[in-house]
Structure 1
Amino acid sequence: MGGALLVAGTTSDAGKSVLTAGICRWLARQGVRVAPFKAQNMSLNSMVTADGAEIGRAQYTQALAAGVEPRAIMNPVLLKPGSDRRSQVVLLGRPVAEVDALEYGAHKERLRAVVADSLARLRAEYDVVVCEGAGSPAEINLRAGDIANMGLARAAGLPVVVVGDIDRGGVFAALYGTVGLLEPADQALVAGFVINKFRGAAELLAPGLEQLRALTGRPTLGVLPWQPGLHLDAEDSLSLDGPRPDAQPPYGKETLRVAVVRFPRISNFTDLDALACEPGVVVRYATGPGDLADADLVVLPGSRATVSDLAWLRERGLAAAIGERAAQGRPILGVCGGYQMLARHIDDEVESKTGGVDGLGLLPARVVFAADKTLGRPEGGAYGEPVRAYEIHHGIVETEGGEPFLDGCRAGAVYGTTWHGAMENDGFRRAFLADVAARAGRDFTPAPDVSFAALRERTLDVLGDLVAEHLDTEALWRLIEQGAPAGLPVVAPGGVPEVSADK
């Protein structure tokens, strides 16, 4: 079949990733062999495939939605920001360069060729490829070098659906403006819209949809209702700004409180999703010492800029507060970059190039950054429970004492590991939380039957249901099979749609 579709968005975090996952699940249910694809992803949430390649966490989850094995060609280009100006370039799962925004342009032709080849291979192997755009296709300052949005759509002849988040407000202006800012040849591929996160009276929305069609000549293919609790492997920390009603006080004595330090370059915070799925566990994000005051467990998560984020930790007074907690025997967990910060000393000539700096000194360990990145899917155990995880790091931690904890160590109530995803192992998660609760003096008992894998599957099924029930699936099929319809109007800057002359 070889059909394909590009899901673009008016902004980052508009719903592209979840809609792509939903379409993949909807198609897979019908026996369609479908694969996700994101040409270029800028994300600090990543995952390791079975063959040791690093890809965006969202694409990994979309592959699970499609029921296929995640592969590097599903996300051939991954950018991992280390500062406001520099990013690591991961190509087909392996780091190849550290660049700033201007230097990145020199790599574009090479990346464009890899993107085109990856998509062609997927289209040859699968019935349908559902592509996800990056950011917004209307970023006109970046259009000339675009390989992920309309540049990809033009090169591969992909029909485009644009999704907008109505919960942010201004969705009609965003959808109309997205089309209006595109050049005519790009507009010719934009076939319709999807409105995301709608809550309200449908009859009040309907006149706006009619006017949007009159102004652009394009239909709205569906309105997805607000669905709470769909925090599905987010791509960036924008998702942490949204409302999390489950994290609001008051709490009972049986509620276990987890405070996660929100580093400026926080990475792989999807590690905390499995903690949040436990009944009676509240996960909050902390940026100041006061946010840690009533926490039973403080988590230092992953970081793409360990030394820089460690300095931030000290500047904010969080380092001192964490040190006081450790002295009081109150539980602290460091994961990957957070584990490195808990060590006695860090020698970094690779990521920050600052050389030697003192860590927090809460674990008997030293860290040396290596030029080669460690990527893997390790297995082990703790508390008598099996653990399967993944690791992504340049920092090599050498323990100098303490008790073993996964691949890391523990000293008193301070735990450290480089393994991501350990909390997704249900037996280990329950045993760890029971240990934390006992050390914190909290009357909390983990639920005996919560399966994180089953919860993820149910979430993916919900996304598939939303697509099946609220989108014009016949129209989606036509786009996938036939491409964008001919004769779509050009939206002129003045707002008057004109029929394209080349149609």
Structure 2
Amino acid sequence: MGAVLVAGAGSGAGKSTITAGLCRALARRGVDVAPFKAQNMSNHAAVTPDGGEIGRAQAMQALAARVETDRRLGPVLLKPSGGRSHVVVLGEEVGVDDAVGYGDRARALRPVVLDALTSLRGEHEVVVAEGAGGAAEPNLLDRDVVNLPLAAAAGMPAVLVVDIDRGGAFAAAYGTWALLPEPLQACLRGVVLNGMRGDVSLLGPAVRDLEARTGIPVLGVLPHLGDHLMLGVEDSLDLRAPGRPGLGMGAGEKPDRPVRIGVVALPHLANPSDLDPLVLEPSVELRWVTRPGELHDLDLVVLPGTRATVADLRWLRGRGLADAVVRAAEDPAGPHVLGICGGYQMLGVEIEDDGVEHTPDPDRTSSLAAPGVRGLGLLPVSTRFARPKVVRRVTGRVAGGSSAVSGYQIHLGRVSALEDAAPWLSLHGTGDEGCLSADRRVRGTTVHGVLDEDDLRHAFLGAVAAVRRRSFRPSPVPYARALEDHLDHLADWVEAHLDVDAVLDLAHTAAAPEEAPGW
């Protein structure tokens, strides 16, 4: 019943990536391991088999650990929207808080978090827990349920991940340790330097100095992953990492990628993992779209998921993108259009939100509720926001076809087909889903992960390419295999540059759950 916390000196240090790599490395050694993150703030979610929400990173880590996703892996999920966050506890949304008000709720959630961790420890040999943000934020320590206060309560050791690529790594490591009160300092049992470029031997004097000052060993120096494509990214800081849409992919570049897809960079973008299968296609060039002029040479425009459909539709109109997408879709020589979840809702005729998606803030004079908002009118559907939230995994097929569909739904918007609407998909148990325009150039669905299935994705992209007179060469690697290869690559990286045996030994020094100090 071992456990270890992977904390960070700050956001973007690589905690999620290292946790995934450790989980796969241990699983390959035959260790029964499970990931855990007590509290996560992200709009990028996954769905458990029983219909609960957890953070996307924990779903990837579960895949790395070769265990099923479980609500306990991420007992608290905060989904930010408009200065406040929707609070999800053990997979179910329980309220909406601002940053100040959440403090009381966080303290009340301590038993829930510790119970989830204790329960997982009772079922697995090792739990690799991930921290959040910076581990030594003095203004947050009294409400911290995810970093070193949790480690102290659970009696588990922690390692500190520091991003060396940005500079100042040794100051960040020492500063984190120095800011912590002594009981929390005692939890820190190792340091990991992440993102090294160049000769590791140059760090020798600094490593020895840090170890002498803190008494904490440096357990490894992980090299920068370079252009390795990160899949399932959750943090907004990672969305423009190498290989993601928009980085170095301007018009006229990458002539070996003939199918050009533009993803509208919505301000409240959610579930960007929907794009991962497109990123992996060798014939596809992805770009972020933020201005009307960037639509002119595209073959496909994607309106992705969003945590704030009405607000992002207003953003589209304010930037002139709404009219530009409509003109492009109505032009016989223009691009195809795909909407996913919130993006699909925008493509319809009307959206009604009577304070459901955006809960009115009693401290503000204006409400974000927006009944009767006009959509883009490209698909004959309308949307009405209502509770309860739909959270479920789905399977099915393309309507009238044989290509399999699998994915998940997380939405408040009930999409209703209007007269003569043609469905795109047929889901087991619920029937027709999504919509196709009469000319089959515009389509939408509420299903996240709809492009994960290789046959569906290749047929869709092949049809787009044929109409647009582009050549399309499908990826020879199935998407599911690409995910496994990615996780094995992270495990190889961790095994080669981090003392995994030392981390495993640390995990086994954790107090037995019944002997943990508690809060």
CA separation in 2, counterparts of 1:283 and 1:295?
Answer: 10
Structure 2 counterpart of 1:16: 15
> 1:225, CA displacement in angstroms?
1.4
CA separation in 2, counterparts of 1:284 and 1:169?
Answer: 29
Structure 1 counterpart of 2:303: 300
CA separation in 2, counterparts of 1:98 and 1:394?
Answer: 15
CA separation in 1, counterparts of 2:12 and 2:295?
Answer: 28
Q: Which amino acid aligns with 2:13?
A: A
Q: What SS is found at the alignment partner of 1:373?
A: strand
* Residues 164/254 of structure 1: CA separation in 2 closer, same or farther (3 Å cut): closer
CA contact (8 A) 2:157 2:187 kept: yes
1:450-478 Cα deviation digits (max 9, x unpaired): 20110110111111112211111232122
Any stretches of 5+ residues in structure 2 without a counterpart?
Answer: 359-368, 426-432, 512-519
Is 1:117 aligned to residue 115 of structure 2? yes
Structure 1 counterpart of 2:436: 410
Structure 1 counterpart of 2:383: 367
Q: Paired residue for 1:481, among 495, 504, 508? A: 508
1:256-298 Cα deviation digits (max 9, x unpaired): 1111111111000110001111112122222222332322111
CA separation in 2, counterparts of 1:145 and 1:176?
Answer: 23
Q: Which amino acid aligns with 1:197?
A: G
CA separation in 1, counterparts of 2:484 and 2:256?
Answer: 31
CA contact (8 A) 2:295 2:328 kept: no
CA separation in 2, counterparts of 1:292 and 1:309?
Answer: 18
Structure 1 counterpart of 2:270: 267
Structure 1 counterpart of 2:65: 66
Structure 2 counterpart of 1:152: 150
* Residues 148/253 of structure 1: CA separation in 2 closer, same or farther (3 Å cut): closer
CA separation in 2, counterparts of 1:156 and 1:212?
Answer: 27
Structure 2 counterpart of 1:498: none
CA separation in 2, counterparts of 1:431 and 1:107?
Answer: 48
Is 1:460 aligned to residue 460 of structure 2? no
Q: Which amino acid aligns with 1:441?
A: R
Q: What SS is found at the alignment partner of 2:165?
A: helix
Q: Paired residue for 2:329, among 326, 329, 334? A: 326
CA contact (8 A) 1:331 1:440 kept: no
Is 1:388 aligned to residue 406 of structure 2? yes
Q: Paired residue for 1:313, among 294, 298, 316? A: 316
> 1:109, CA displacement in angstroms?
3.6
Q: Which amino acid aligns with 1:348?
A: D
* % identical aligned pairs: 51
* Residues 223/230 of structure 1: CA separation in 2 closer, same or farther (3 Å cut): farther
Does 323-332 or 303-312 show the bigger shift?
323-332
Q: Which amino acid aligns with 1:125?
A: E
* Residues 414/141 of structure 1: CA separation in 2 closer, same or farther (3 Å cut): same
CA separation in 2, counterparts of 1:45 and 1:327?
Answer: 32
> 1:97, CA displacement in angstroms?
0.6
CA separation in 1, counterparts of 2:280 and 2:478?
Answer: 9
Q: Which amino acid aligns with 1:81?
A: P
Q: Which contiguous aligned blocks of 4+ residues in structure 1 show a shift greater than 4 angstroms?
A: none
CA separation in 2, counterparts of 1:461 and 1:204?
Answer: 29
1:297-350 Cα deviation digits (max 9, x unpaired): 111100001111111111111112111111114211100011011111000010
CA contact (8 A) 1:253 1:442 kept: no
> 1:98, CA displacement in angstroms?
1.4
> 1:242, CA displacement in angstroms?
2.8
Q: What SS is found at the alignment partner of 2:139?
A: helix
* Residues 282/208 of structure 1: CA separation in 2 closer, same or farther (3 Å cut): farther
TM-score (normalised: structure 2): 0.90
Is 1:351 aligned to residue 357 of structure 2? yes
CA separation in 2, counterparts of 1:174 and 1:399?
Answer: 54
CA separation in 1, counterparts of 2:406 and 2:265?
Answer: 25
Is 1:180 aligned to residue 196 of structure 2? no
Any stretches of 5+ residues in structure 1 without a counterpart?
Answer: 485-503
Q: Which amino acid aligns with 2:447?
A: W
> 1:182, CA displacement in angstroms?
1.1
Is 1:342 aligned to residue 369 of structure 2? no
> 1:376, CA displacement in angstroms?
1.0
CA contact (8 A) 1:426 1:450 kept: no
Structure 1 counterpart of 2:514: none
* Residues 392/3 of structure 1: CA separation in 2 closer, same or farther (3 Å cut): same
Note the 1:128-207 alignment, pairs <5 A: 128-207=126-205
Q: What SS is found at the alignment partner of 2:132?
A: coil
Structure with higher helix content = 1
TM-score (normalised: structure 1): 0.92
Does 222-231 or 244-253 show the bigger shift?
244-253
CA separation in 1, counterparts of 2:352 and 2:339?
Answer: 18
The RMSD of aligned alpha carbons is 1.6
CA separation in 1, counterparts of 2:184 and 2:233?
Answer: 28
**Number of aligned residue pairs:** 481
> 1:226, CA displacement in angstroms?
1.7
CA contact (8 A) 1:44 1:236 kept: no
Q: Which amino acid aligns with 2:85?
A: S
CA contact (8 A) 2:256 2:283 kept: no
> 1:18, CA displacement in angstroms?
0.9
